Structure formats: C-alpha cells, structure tokens
Structure 1
Amino acid sequence: MPHQGFPRCLRLLNAGDFSHVFEQADLKVHGKGMMALARLSTRGHPRVGLVVSKKNVKLAVDRNRFKRLVRESVRLRQDHFPSVDIVVLAKRGAHDIDNETFTRQLNGMWKRLQRDAQAVPASSPPNGVTRDA
C-alpha cells in the first residue's frame, strides 16, 4: 500500500515557494470556485500550497473546509501527480459548493493538470509559458 500521509515535504511552506509559482506558472487549471497554478519542478514529487482569502471566502469554517478538502484530495492522489509545485486559490463562490461537487471539481482539475504537464516539453526548462485548460 502506498504512503498516504501528507508530510511537510509535500507542502509549499514559505513565501518564496509561493512567489516562485506565482511569478512563472507553467500551467493554469480552472474549476468552479477555485483555480490551480502550477510550475514544473525537479524535486521528483508534487508540493501544494493553498491561498484562501477572507475577501473570497468570508467565514472561517468555509475557509477551513476548502483547505481540508483540497489537502485530502492531494493526499489521496499524491502518487498520480507529476513533479510540480501547485498553488490552489479559492475564488468567490467557493463556499457555495457542496463537498461532493467540490471533490469532483478537484479530481477533474487534477486530471487536466496531469494531462497538461505531460504536454509541456520535458527537455526544455520551465519558462513561464501558461496553458489554460
């Protein structure tokens, strides 16, 4: 059985990690109430960071639910991700989505992210080319 934890090595932990993705995102994937920016990396495993602002998701309980569902989705699918740094951003209306729909949205986003990451040439270094899904 593969490791199903969510250790520190799978998280974007500091502002430098986040700005690295924001400055030159190689991939951009949209879902209802959320968006994921990703930048190819050479670490050999994915890392994930979350941005959930009070402006877009008012209540703390809704912000925490958003983060919990994204972390759980990544934890369960971590072996299927390419080597990328991902930042998931909450957009307005994220709190209106029920858990089942939210999970389906995330799974669809992860599949598009995998497909788009394979389409980016592996031989060329990440160069900030943005691809919309």
Structure 2
Amino acid sequence: MSVQVLKIGDLSKATTTKVETIRYYENIGLLPAPSRTTGNYRSYAPEHLARLSFIRRARELGFTLDQVRNLLDLSDEKQRSCESVDAIAREHLRQVDRKISDLKALRAELDSVINQCSCGTIADCRIIDALAPAL
C-alpha cells in the first residue's frame, strides 16, 4: 500500500492556501518540514494535509498563530483533558465579543455623523468636520 504524497502546488490547491503561506508555516514551525524527493521537491504526506487544513480552519475562525500553535500542540495529546483547549477558545470568544462591541460603537458613531450631513457644500460637511483634527 503506497502513501499518497503531494507536491506543494497540490497541497496549496487542496487547502486553498497560497504556496508562500505554506512555506511561511513551515518556517515558523506550524507545519513540519516535508521530506524531499530525489529532485529536491517538497513531498507532503496526508498528515501535512490534515495539519494544514486544521491551521486554515482555525485561522478562518480568527485564532492567532500563537493560539493555533497551542491548539496544535494540545491536539497531539489525545488523552489529556480538553480544559486547555476550552480556555483558548473561550478567550478567543471574549476577544471576538470585544471586537463586535467596538464595531457596534463605531457603527453608531458613523451613523450619527452621516445623519448630521445635510448634503450641502463640502465647507458645511459634518462628515469632513468629524474627521478633521481639532486644532
């Protein structure tokens, strides 16, 4: 039984990850360096595909690279309690909630500024006034 190997372009397509990003993840240690063919091409195994898919999904959910690294380290310890994973996810959720709150406040402020605009001249524009620094 042969193990399926992938070239970097195949791995890129399979995970919709840019080749440069794959190399970056290798350089920072998130993705282990693959073996090399006799022609010195990278040769990725199914484990690389699974790990990169994990990284991509975690990044899509907004986890930082450090959080992804921690989650990957924890995922290798199958018998360990998942409390640490839960703590990372809960902290990330708190960060997401803070960002949502900040965006809601930003939206309200923009809405207020826009509603003050009478669509007169630029000289009377409330939006421009709100953006200009007070001297």
Structure with more contact order per residue of length (Cα contacts < 8 Å, sep ≥ 6): 1
Comparing both structures, which one devotes a greater share of its residues to helix? 2
Q: Under a length normalisation based on structure 2, what TM-score does the superposition of the two structures give?
A: 0.27
Which structure would you say has the larger Rg? 2
